[in-house]
Structure formats: structure tokens, C-alpha cells
Amino acid sequence: MARVLLVVPTSSYRIADFIDAAGALGVEVAVAAEEDLPLLAKDRFVRIDCSDPAAAAATVVDFAATSPIDAIVPVDDAGVIIAALASESLGLPHNPPAAAAATRNKEAMRLALSLGEVPQPMFAAIAQGQDPATAAAAIGFPLVVKPLSLSGSRGVIKAERPDQLLTVIERVRDIAREAGDDGGRVLLEQFVPGPEVAVEGMLWHGVLEVLAIFDKPDHPDGPYFEETIYVTPSRLDRATQDEIARVAQAAVTAIGLQEGPIHAELRVDRRRPSVIEIAGRSIGGICGRALNFGLLDTSLETLILRHALGRRRGLPRTKNASGVMMLPIAAAGTFTAISGLDDARNVEGIDSIEITAPIGTHLQPVPEADRYLGFVFATGPEADAVVAALKKAHSLLDIVIR
């Protein structure tokens, strides 16, 4: 039986989905994680420290010497570099470690895209103690300030005017330090107007297969960039979608990514896509449940495992429109109660509602947010119906944060 090792951080929503997918494929799963998983046998679990990718990769290689594995899959951002390093040592299909590292550092990603002449916002990296005024004036306002290594819109803040810039930069640095980053360098980026889309794709020897293009109908335009609704298929015209796919391919080529899932964020200004982010892993949280493929509703996790084991794809996305809402967090505080779930689940088109934050969890809104409250999934005959169902279901939920 083939065995796949999943690399996951301390907490991941997705282990269960991958284990289900492995069961459907007849594949055994082993896990490399930061916390013990007592339900797994010793030959199926290895403990690692995701903050030290080189040491974690060496631990995985040692584990494979006694518990052989056929492929390594990073589940979240924290595992991307570890998986690349370990797979390289073991001779398994992988992304080059330098390319994986570039997806985890926004400055390195931007420099690689510049060398590849990939459309992207103007940018400048600012070190601690460096006056940002000259760089900001060259970029122009409004602009966006970002930490180098965080994801999920954490620490991303828009500065509308020069008098806001220093305050925004210091807040971004504080958020980065709270997350374990040194916060010294931050990125200034030109704000790109227009709709934002997400591209979910799979790389086969460097060639990008686009699995889905998601619209973000809530148009996150700042000052913060909270992720809420993703819906597919995109309602953009075919020529624009083709250009999005072309630019996404150019981006992964410039960075040097070769194998496995990618998740890209782009802004489309007057039909001209610009790359905002590229990640060397699939869509975050449990948002992958919004996608199914083929006549048997094959999951995204199943496609990822099939790819890791070298099993060729050929499964188109199911024809219905589908979408997910990441439930917004309205204010910082303790999540104390939620009601209206039954009414929300009964909305036509709603497939499921998953509350992933336990009662008693301290939650924060973006830009400090480090987790999701929950997810709402819907399908329908067209994208507009899916968006309407998601918004109606959300309106029926009473979420109490004290």
C-alpha cells in the first residue's frame, strides 16, 4: 500500500479531510506534526518543529529510513519548505527548496516575479529604521503594507495617505512580532484596484492545470482585507480568465515551482491581472470542500494525493456553481455562543456549516486574526445563487463575541 506523509503545523483543519481522501484511494497516511497525535501508530507519526524547516526535514528523512514513504504533502504554509527539503533528500517529486522558500517570503517572491517580468504591483521592502517616505512616494498612495511571512490577510493594512504610513508600518510590525516574525522588514505595495480572484491549480512538471478560478464578490479593498466569500466559476469573461491563467503560469515559472498544488491571488484592473500572492499549497482552512471534481464528486484532497503519487488527473470540476464563506469575526473577544444554525442550514443551496472555533476561543478580526470562526458551503445552478445563499445563511446566524 502506498504511503503519503502529511506535513502539518500545530493546528490544522484539514487532517481529517486528507485521511478521508486517502481512505477512498486505498492510501496509508503518516503525519509529521508539532503535537502528538495519539490515534496514530508510532510508524505513522513523527514530531517536528515547523519553525526550523531544515531540522524538521532531517527528522522526516530519518523517519522515512524506518517507515518508508512514497510522497510528502504540505497541508499548510508551515510545511511547504519542510516538504521540499525532505522530498529532495529522499528523491521524491518536489518543488525546489528555493522556490518553496520564495512563496514564504513576500520580498523574495516579488523579486522572482520581477526577474520573470510577471505583472505585479510596484513594491519596496523597508527595513527597521529606514525612512519609507521616498519609496512610498515612488509607489504612490494608496498603498498596502505587509509583513514578509504571514498569510491569510494577517497584518495586511492599506495606507490611504502619507500621514498614516508610519502608524500603519508600526502596527504591521507589531502583528508580525506577535506571530513570531522579527517584523524588521515590511513590504510596501502599490494598491491595485479592481476585482480580486483566487486561482486553485495543480502543477505537473511546471505546467499549471487550473482547477478553479474563484471570484471574491465582497471586493476586499481595505483598510483591511478580510477573506469572506469565494465562488466559482468566475463571472469574469473568458478572455480575462484566460489571461489570469496565463499570468498565474508565468508567476509559478518565475518562482520556480514545479510540482503539486498552488493557490494564487490576483487583482484584475481593467482586464489586466496582477499577482498579489502565490502559495505552494492548496487553498487554506477547509475551503477545499467548496470544490469537487468528476462524476463521483472527487475531493480536492483526493486530487492532491493522486498527484503526489504520480497518478494522472483528468477530472473536470463539477458543473454546479459552488462557494464558501469564511465567517467574519466582527470584534475581538471571547467566542461565547452561536445560534440560528438550524435555520441557516435550511437555506436553499446551503450544503453545510462548520464552526471550527470552539466556544471559549479568543478571536480577533483582521488584520490580527490568526484563525477562522467557521465556514459555510453552498452549491447552486449559478454563482449569483450561491452568493445569495451564503449571505442569507450568514444573516441568520447570531454570533456572540464578548
Whose cell is 525546489? That residue is 96
Reply yes or no: is the peptide bond before residue 74 cis, omega within 30 of 0: no
pLDDT in 10s for each residue of the chain, 402 residues: 899 999 987 667 788 899 899 998 999 999 999 988 777 778 889 999 999 999 999 999 999 999 999 999 999 999 999 999 999 999 999 999 999 999 999 999 999 999 999 999 999 999 999 999 999 999 999 999 999 999 889 999 999 999 999 999 999 999 999 988 887 899 999 999 999 999 999 999 999 999 999 999 998 888 999 999 999 999 999 999 999 999 999 999 999 999 999 999 999 999 999 999 999 999 988 999 999 998 677 999 999 999 999 887 667 888 899 999 999 999 999 999 999 999 999 999 999 999 999 999 999 999 999 889 999 999 999 999 999 999 999 999 999 999
Residue 355: all three cell numbers together: 464552526
> What is the pLDDT, as a whole number, of residue 40?
78
Q: How far is CA 312 from the centre of its chain?
A: 24
> What is the pLDDT, as a whole number, of residue 345?
98
Q: Which CATH architecture has domain 122-190?
A: 2-Layer Sandwich (3.30)
> What is the pLDDT, as a whole number, of residue 294?
83
The class that CATH gives domain 3-102 is: alpha beta
With the CA atoms of 256, 257, 263 and 269 taken in that order, what torsion angle do they form, in degrees rounded to the nearest 10?
Answer: 30
HSE-CB for 67 with a 13 A CA cutoff: 19
* Sign of the torsion formed by the C-alpha atoms of 156, 160, 162 and 166: negative
Alpha carbon distance 215, 124 (integer Å) = 28
> What is the pLDDT, as a whole number, of residue 313?
63
> What is the pLDDT, as a whole number, of residue 142?
97
Q: Which CATH architecture has domain 320-402?
A: Alpha-Beta Complex (3.90)
Residue spans of the domains in the chain: they are 3-102, 122-190, 320-402
* Sign of the torsion formed by the C-alpha atoms of 70, 295, 392 and 241: positive
Residue 372: all three cell numbers together: 477562522
